[in-house]
Amino acid sequence: MQSTVIAPSILSANFARLGEEVDNVLKAGADWVHFDVMDNHYVPNLTIGPMVCEALRKHGVTAPIDVHLMVEPVDRIVPDFAKAGASLISFHPEASAHVHRTVQLIKSHGCQAGVVLNPATPIDVLDWVLEDLDMVLLMSVNPGFGGQSFIPSALEKLRRVREKIDATGKPIRLEIDGGVKADNIGEIAAAGADTFVAGSAIFNAPGSDQRGYADVIARMKDAVAKVRG
Ligand code: DX5
Ligand code: ZN
C-alpha cells in the first residue's frame, strides 16, 4: 500500500507571498506541493508556469512538486518543467495526441508520470498505459478553478480505478483532486485514494497561517488513518 500523501494545491495560496505560503504549508505537515498549471485554452483560466516552479526550488523547497498540467498541447512544456524541478508531471489525455509518447517523454526527463481523468472521462483510457504510470489522478471537479464541490460519482470511479491498479501489482498512486475537505476525505480514502489534493480547504483555513494549515492537515490525516491505518 502506498503511504498517504496530502498535497496542498497552491492555486488557493496567496500568490503575493508564495514562497512563504509553501514553507508554511510544508511545516504544517503537507507532504507534497500540488502545482496547477492552466493555459486559458485547455481550461478557461491562466495560472503559473515553469519559472514559478523553478523559483520555489531556488527558494529552498525540497518537497516533491506535483505538477498538474491543464494545458494543450502537452509535450512542448514537459522538458521545461523537468528542468524547473518538477518531481511528478501529470497531464490530461484529451490534451495529448499521443498519450503513450507523452508518458515516455515525462519519464525520459527524469520525472514520474501521471494521467488525469476528468469527471466524465471513461477509465478505459488507462488500459494500455496504466503499467507505465506512476500515478493516476482522478478529478472530482471539472478542472479550471479551486473551491468547487466534490462530484460524488468520483467515489465509484476511485473504486474502479483502485481495482485496476491493484490488478497490476505495481506501486501506482491514486490521487484525487477537487473539493477534498476534512469532512469528506475519510470516504474518499475508503474508496481507494492514497494521495489527496486540497486547495481551498487548507489555504482558506481560519487564520490562513501555519497554525490554521496544520490544524486542517492533522484533521485530514486523522480521518484518512482511521480508514487506511
Ligand atoms: C482544479 C485544480 C485543483 C484545485 C483544487 O482545476 O486542479 O487542484 O486547486 O482546489 P479545491 O481543493 O479548492 O477544490
Ligand atoms: Zn490540480
User: How does pLDDT run across 53-74, given as a tens digit for each residue?
Assistant: 999 999 999 999 999 999 999 9
**With the C-alpha atoms ordered 2, 134, 178, 65, is the resulting torsion angle positive or negative?**
positive
Q: CA angle, 11 as apex, 210 and 93 as ends, to 5°? A: 135
Beta bridge partners of 116: 137
Rounded to an integer, what distance in angstroms lies between the CA atom of residue 110 and that of residue 88?
9
> Residue 2 has what pLDDT?
95
Q: Which three cell numbers mark 220? A: 485530514
* pLDDT for 28 beyond 90: yes
Count the alpha carbons within 13 Å of 205 in the hemisphere toward its beta carbon. 25
pLDDT of residue 84: 99
Q: Which three cell numbers stand for residue 120?
A: 466524465
Q: What's the 48 CA to ligand 1 centre distance in angstroms?
A: 14
Annotated domain spans of the chain: 5-228
Q: Which residues are catalytic?
A: 36, 177
Predicted pLDDT of residue 229: 86
pLDDT grade, residue 37 (50/70/90)?
A: very high
CA of 138 to the centre of ligand 1 (A): 12
Average pLDDT of the chain is 98
Amino acid at 71: V
For domain 5-228, the CATH class is alpha beta
CA–centroid distance, residue 199 to ligand 1 (Å): 5
At residue 224, the pLDDT reads 98
Q: What is the CA radius of gyration of the chain?
A: 16
Structure-block grid coordinates of residue 70: 491543464
Q: What is the reported pLDDT for 216?
A: 98
Cα(65)–Cα(126) distance, integer angstroms = 23
pLDDT for residue 146: 98
Mutate to test the pocket of ligand 1, among 40, 46, 145 (most ligand atoms within 8 A of CB): 145
Question: Percent of the chain scored above 90 by pLDDT?
Answer: 99
**pTM assigned to the model:** 0.98
pLDDT for position 111? 99
List pLDDT tens digits, range 128-160: 999 999 999 999 999 999 999 999 999 999 999
Nearest alpha carbon, ligand 1 atom 9? 146
Give the nearest ligand 1 atom to 38 CA: 6
In the three-class reduction of DSSP (H, G, I as helix; E, B as strand; rest coil), residue 66 is classed as strand
Residue 98 has pLDDT above 90, yes or no: yes
Q: What is the mean pLDDT of residues 224-228?
A: 97
Query: Which of 34, 40, 46, 197 for mutating ligand 1's site (highest number of atoms within 8 Å of CB)?
Result: 197
Name the closest-CA residue to atom 10, ligand 1: 146
Per the CB < 8 A criterion, the answer to whether 105 and 129 are in contact is no
**Ligand closest to the CA atom of residue 45:** 1
Q: Residues enclosing ligand 1, CB less than 6 A?
A: 9, 11-12, 34, 36, 68, 141, 143-144, 146-148, 177-180, 197-201
